[in-house]
Amino acid sequence: MEQTLQPNSYWVIEEFGPFDYSITMQNKGFEMNYMKIPDIFCGIDFSSNNFEGQIPDTFGDLAGLQLLNLSRNNLSGHIPSSFSNMKNLECLDLSQNQLSGQIPTKLTKLTYLSSFDVSFNNLSGPIPKGNEFCTFDSKSYEGNPRLSLETWNKQCGNARFLPQLQQPPSITEEDDTSEYDLKIKWVIISIGFLNGLVGGVIVGNELTTRKHYWFVKKFARIQSRWFA
């Protein structure tokens, strides 16, 4: 059966020229606005276009594609295994269509894939595990009652990929720690105060002694002049 994408409506570009037009793309769950078509990013966003039919296998020939968004259409049939040839693909969104069958295990070859969404389709069977597929959130697969989500959670649950977090200290430990820190601070302040006080007394005494000696010596000279 020939695979086609059939839009309900379309428009034709009658004049060709520089494509410095602003565009909006869905990238990894976020709406990205570009003032002009980027030349360092290769992506296709056909979302929300009421496309019908099956997804062509020829998409797999787009080896340099980084983003492919076909979400919110009326696409049917299987997910092409040829998608595994798009080695640079980072984002694949096929959500909210009528796709059926299994998720191709060959998609685990997409080592750059960081965002994957096939939610709300008619997919069935096991979910591929291994490589990037063990890092995707379970929401990427919801809305597919016949997908083996429970099995995937057991074999490739996201919980075991989270870093081991330290348990928060108990209230008693926090109080003990706070009291200990407070004591340390007061000891440091006391030492600093005593050092400053002792140093001030020594310096002050030295200055006072020198000033007294200078005064006596100066007064003796003046007195000798008066009575000479």
Distance CA 113, CA 90 (A): 4
Amino acid at 145: P
Buried b (16+ CB within 10 A) or exposed e, 89-118: bbbbbbbbbebeebbbbebbebeebebbbb
- pLDDT per residue as tens, the chain (228 positions): 455 565 554 444 444 455 565 556 555 555 656 555 555 668 888 999 999 999 999 999 999 899 999 999 999 999 999 999 999 999 999 999 999 999 999 999 999 999 999 999 999 999 888 778 888 888 999 999 999 877 777 777 554 443 433 344 444 444 555 555 555 555 555 555 555 554 554 445 554 555 455 445 554 554 455 445
Q: pTM score, two decimals?
A: 0.57
**Do 26 and 93 form a contact (C-beta atoms < 8 A)?**
yes
User: CA 167 → CA 20, 100, 164, 173, distances in Å?
Assistant: 53, 44, 9, 12
Distance CA 7, CA 53 (A): 9
Give domain 43-157's CATH superfamily.
Ribonuclease Inhibitor (3.80.10.10)
